[in-house]
Each structure stands twice: as C-alpha cells, then as structure tokens.
Chain A
C-alpha cells in the first residue's frame, strides 16, 4: 500500500511515516506543504494520503483545499485529513456528496496506533473514517421530537460506530457481538430511522451523517 504524508511539523511527519512504514506500508512521499503533495501525486500513484488540515503558507485552509482537490483529481486515492480540532462543518464540507475514501480524524488519534492504522487502511480501500467527536456531536445534538429516542442503547452504539465508518465486522469486533447480531441491529436502525437501505459502507456513513445533521 502506497502512502503520502503532508504535515508541516517535522517531528510529527516523521513519527507518522515511521509508524506507517513499520506497519508495512510504503511511504512514497513526505511533504511539508500542499503544493508539494499535489506535485508528488501527479507523478506517482498513491493509495492514500494523510494530510494535515493546517498547512503552510497561511495555515488556514490549505490542507482542506488540497484534500478536496485530490478527491476531485485522483478519485481512486483515499484522503485522510488530520486536524487538532474537528469541526462538524468541515467534515460535511469534506464529505460533500460522498464518504468514499474519506477520513477526517483528530490528530490525537494517531497515538491509538491500531485504530489509526485501521482507519488509514479503510480509507485507502475506499471506506470512511469519521472522528468519534463528530459523530458524538451529531448524536448528542438536541432535536425536537428526536427520532434517536426510538433506538435502544445497543442500537445507538452500533449507529455510533457505523457513522464513524466501521464495517459490520469492525462493529462486531468492537462490541463483541456476532456479525449476524450487528446486521440485525443495522437493519433495525435503518427501519426505525426510516432510512433507505444502502449498498456500501461508505454510502451508509454519508446517509447516517446527513440524517443526524438535520
């Protein structure tokens, strides 16, 4: 698996590169800014990029713009955006109309090595990785006539993990459930929330996020 990294903090960039390399990934590019990253991508196919949302020169929105550009220009390349703050608005902007091959995580998640590597792999494979904070913000959002109240506690846990981009197997592993049980919960959730059943995992991520957002 070929990975490119764009992160202006050398310390962190090298740490992430080492982490990814040690887990057997091929880190083909380490860049300090978005321009360099885009140049590297143009010359070399990459499965996934890990990009900091604040990059030089202005440290405002360069990383996000680069991520959006990569999504448009290299649809087969997964984009995992890292940030010191996760913002719901930015997540929605980044996802736009598809959660396929997109990740948006708090930078702190790096140190949970297993989870982080799983997220990188998921995004590289066209899946999604949405930070738990985003999902919990959406889940705890106050609503009048809240449809989430119709869910059981277990169903809410499943919904939470589902919205983060986990596969049914991933959810089953985390909650120590059988795959069949998870599938049952998922279908129950979709029925209770009156969501149409969707095919891929990334599609259901978007559907769930959009549902929770409104």
Chain B
C-alpha cells in the first residue's frame, strides 16, 4: 500500500511539475527537478519501507517514509489550483528539515540527547512558522491564499533569515554526525562511517543550497540538482548497510552451526567475534557461587569499568545471567544481530557451563571416592598394624612362654599334654589372625612392593600362572594396592568361575599408566556385575582416575585390563 502510494506520489509530483510549468524539452530546470524530486520521494519511501520491514521496532523506517511523503507534499507547489499550491508552499521547507531529522535519528529513529532534540525542534519551527510568516507578508505571489499583509521587503528579510537559519541548523547537524563518527567503534566502522559521511555530505549540500538561494548566489539550480542527488543517495547507502547486516545474519547461521559442535570456551569467543565482526569481543562467564563475572581462565572481570567504546550485553537463560558479551559500542546499532548472537551463544554458554559444572562435580565425586578408598585403606593398614604389633606378638610370646614351661615340666606328662593343647590353640588363633590381618592389608606390599607381593599371590593361584612385572622402582602406594587387588581378585575369580588351565599376569608401566592385565584360558562369559567382585575392582580403579575393562566372550577366556594413571 505504502509503496504504491509512494510511487503514486512520485508520479503525481512529476505530473504536476510537467503540467504546471508546461515544460518543453528545452526547459531543463523544471524537468530535471521533477525527475530528481520523484526519485527522492521514491528513494525515501521505498528504503523506509525496507527498513521498517527489517526492523519493525525501530522508528527509523517510518521516519524515512514520512520524509518521502512530505517531500511529495511539498511538490504541490507545482499544482495549478490555489489550495494545493498554498499547502505545498507552506510545506516547502519541511523536507530538508525532515532529512535532517532522519539523519540525526539514525539508527533507531530516536534523537539522542537534549541538544539534538532541540536542534531538530528549532529546525521544524524555522521551516514551518517562518514559512507562514513569509506567506502572511505576501511572498510567493497571488495564488498564496494565506497572504494577509503584503510587504515584499519584510518577506524577503524573513526569507533570508529563514534560509540562513536552516543552513546553520544543517551545519550543526553535520557537527553532531562528526562527533558520532568519532565514537563509532572498530568492527562497523566502514559501513557506519560511509553512511554518516553520506548524511553529513547531504546536510552540507543543503546548507550550501540554502545560503546560495538566500543571497541569490550563482548556480542555484545546479546546486539544487546536486543536493537532490546527494539526498536521494543517502537511503541507498543506508540500504547497503542493511544488506551488510543481513550478511552478518548469515554469519550467525555459521555461528549456530559452529555452536552445535562441542566448543571449547576460547573457541566460542572466537566464533562470536567472527559472527559479530568484533575482534575486540570478550566473553565473561557468570559465576553464581562467587557472585561475579570471570573470563575464560576464571579471572574475575569488572564489567562496570569498560571505557566509552565498549559495552556489555548480558546473556541470560530463564532469567538467570549465564554470561556477558563485552563488545564494541557500535554493535548496539544492530540489535537483532546482537540478540540472535546472544540467544545462540546463551545456549552454548549454558551448555558449556553445565558441562563445566558436571566436570567439576565429577572431579569432586572422583576425589571423594578416592579419599574414601584411601581412608578405608589407611584404616585397614592401621588395623593390620595393631594386630601385628599387639595380639599376634603377644600370642607368640605367650606360646614361647608355654614352650619354656613345657621344658621345665618335662616329667609331668599330664601338664605337658595340656600345655601342648594350649599351644596348638594359640597356633590356630595365630593362623586365623594372620589371615584376618593379611586380608585387611597385605603388609608385604607396603614394605616390599608389587613384584614381591604378587609372587606369593601367583604361587598360591589355582592354576599355573606366568607372572611378569616390569616396573622400575616402586609405585604410589594406592596404585600398588589397587593393582594388587586387581590381580588377587582376578585370580579368585579364575579359581571360582573360569575353569581355566592357565593364566598370565602382566604388570607394566606404559605412557604414564600402570597397566595390569590378567588373561585366562577359561570358559569366559564372566558376570561383570554380580558376585565376581569386578564391580568393586572397577570402583577402586576408577577412583584413581583409571579404567578397568573386561573381555569375557563365551568360550573365549577372560581378559581383565586395568589402566591407572601414575600421578
């Protein structure tokens, strides 16, 4: 609708110009002016429409459309009837002020700052009120229906004042644009700068045009043409910027694809920087437990102290902050791009944060499991030691005493018999205690290491065992204990379930790991979850950050392999 209206308006302007002035081909000025005016209307209306569709929330598009239609309305001065002529005349100076408004309201359609708002308001007053004053004093000839008290001299003075003021306002607008350009940041600098330059140049041309026509300078017609061309080009430059933003959105597509992969935090930053075309971009993670933002390496960041050229965009999920983007101020001119990027990043960051949290909890769990096993092991060692130093020693000493007593009572057979019985009881107790103590902790392991400890285990196995231990020196005790239990428990399993005829045990150090492998030639098909003790072994190995794997095909023997990192 608006597009048709715009085209129609442009057509009407053109028709009015041609019909009203009754131009011939030789009359260059009205024809060229008519074409340029029509182009100007079309340029603003159509570009405004595109901008509107592209950013419905922004008033910039509608402002451009308004500028286009007001420009059309001002061409009513070419109408033959008096009423439209008068109306067109009253609006004659409004388009340049609207252009000024449009340029200063870039990019979101709002005028930022009191001074800018004042400047635009003053321009409107100058354009409309002084125009009406001029009409009152009889400017613009007999078809001016608003003529009150004809006074050509006053009208001329007002005209000069009005045009000069508009020129000054336009130049002030140039100043505003120049200061804004200085603030523009790095990534958008080229497209933004070009646009701001186009606006500023248009304003300069307008100012020049008005000064020339106020004081009847030379080449007014040509200057007007050039000004119109410049004005019509500004929306085109704007459109180019829009197109680039759209290209940026396709970069967003790449970002989303990249985010699907499992990105490291630093890669996520790089992907965002690429998508937003801001090499200075930083990613800050929200750490709720510390109530602060931190960079990828966990260093706390103060988001309130970023300087003028950088701002923060928060990324939240379900109302909770998860991260923040620290980026160039100019990115705020592309709010949809930023919104889309933060939405995409929000998912990835949340994902990464959850993963980090999960990893932290896993580490914590592994740590607490290791501590539990360590504590249990220490307790068992202590108990074994207590038994060794206490009850066992005392029983042996007691048995020795009984032996000495027995020798002394050599003649008394009744006494020696009961002493003998007592000694046998003590011997059985000692044996039981020894089993208990050894079950608590194989003391030989602490004193003499894995090789010595495993030799006895292998010798006592139910099947012939070939034991190969290739370790240079001792391992950490917890590793030795874990390896010892992996071997002894596997041999118990072989005795109970495997129906094997032989087994091999290999213990070696490889790539910073202790590798313990027990292979038998039995029936396989071991139950790895219940009864076999394999679950407990896996717990012990995994608690040390290692891995226990079991291959047990039916009829194919069983292979148990534990790999534990040597820290």
Contacts and interface: CB of A to CB of B under 8 A. Distances in A.
B179 interface: no
A213 B437 CA distance: 26
A53 B447 CA distance: 9
Contacts of A9: 389, 393, 397
Given A64-B448, A111-B426, A144-B501, A18 B404 contact: yes
Nearest to B388: A84
A137 interface: yes
A150 interface: no
A12 interface: yes
A140 B420 CA distance: 28
A138 to B, nearest CB: 7
B473 to A, nearest CB: 14
B488 interface: no
A88 B404 contact: no
Interface string A45-88: 00000000110000111001000000000000000000011011
A192 interface: no
A161 to B, nearest CB: 19
Contact of B443 (A85, A88, A141): A85
A22 B404 contact: yes
Interface string A75-119: 000000000110111101100000000000001101111000000
A19 interface: yes
Contact of A87 (B393, B396, B423, B448): B448
Nearest to B408: A22
Contacts of A153: none
Interface in A148-191: none
Contact of B448 (A22, A90, A108, A213): A90
Contact of A88 (B403, B456, B463, B502): B456
A39 interface: no
B463 to A, nearest CB: 5
A213 B443 CA distance: 22
A54 B464 CA distance: 31
A59 B382 CA distance: 12
Contacts of B388: 54, 84
A88 B465 CA distance: 14
Contact of B438 (A85, A107, A110, A113): A85
B458 to A, nearest CB: 9
Interface string B457-477: 001111111000000000000
Given A12-B396, A87-B455, A87-B456, A108 B444 contact: no
Contact of A111 (B423, B444, B447): B423
Contact of A138 (B426, B448, B459, B502): B459
Interface centre among B393, B447, B448 (most CB of A within 10 A): B447
A93 B423 contact: no
B337 to A, nearest CB: 68
B452 interface: yes
A108 B389 CA distance: 14
A142 B463 contact: yes
B75 interface: no
Contacts of B501: 144
Contacts of B434: 84-85
A89 B453 contact: yes
A11 B451 CA distance: 33
Contacts of A142: 461-465
A127 B453 CA distance: 26
A108 B396 contact: yes
Contacts of B446: 60
B392 interface: yes
B403 A113 contact: yes
A111 B422 CA distance: 12
A15 B397 contact: yes
Given A11-B397, A54-B443, A87-B444, A108 B404 contact: no
B356 interface: no
Nearest to A12: B397
B75 to A, nearest CB: 105
Contacts of A108: 396, 399, 427, 430
B394 interface: yes
A123 interface: no
Contact of B403 (A11, A60, A93, A112): A112
Given A9-B393, A11-B393, A61 B400 contact: no
Given A11-B397, A54-B447, A111-B402, 19 more contacts: A11-B393, A11-B394, A12-B393, A15-B401, A16-B400, A64-B448, A84-B443, A87-B452, A89-B453, A90-B444, A93-B452, A107-B396, A108-B430, A110-B396, A110-B399, A111-B423, A113-B400, A137-B460, A144-B501
7 contacts: A19-B403, A64-B447, A84-B443, A92-B455, A111-B396, A111-B403, A137-B460
Interface of B: 385, 388-389, 392-394, 396-397, 399-404, 406-407, 423, 426-427, 430, 434, 437-438, 443-444, 446-448, 451-456, 459-465, 501-502
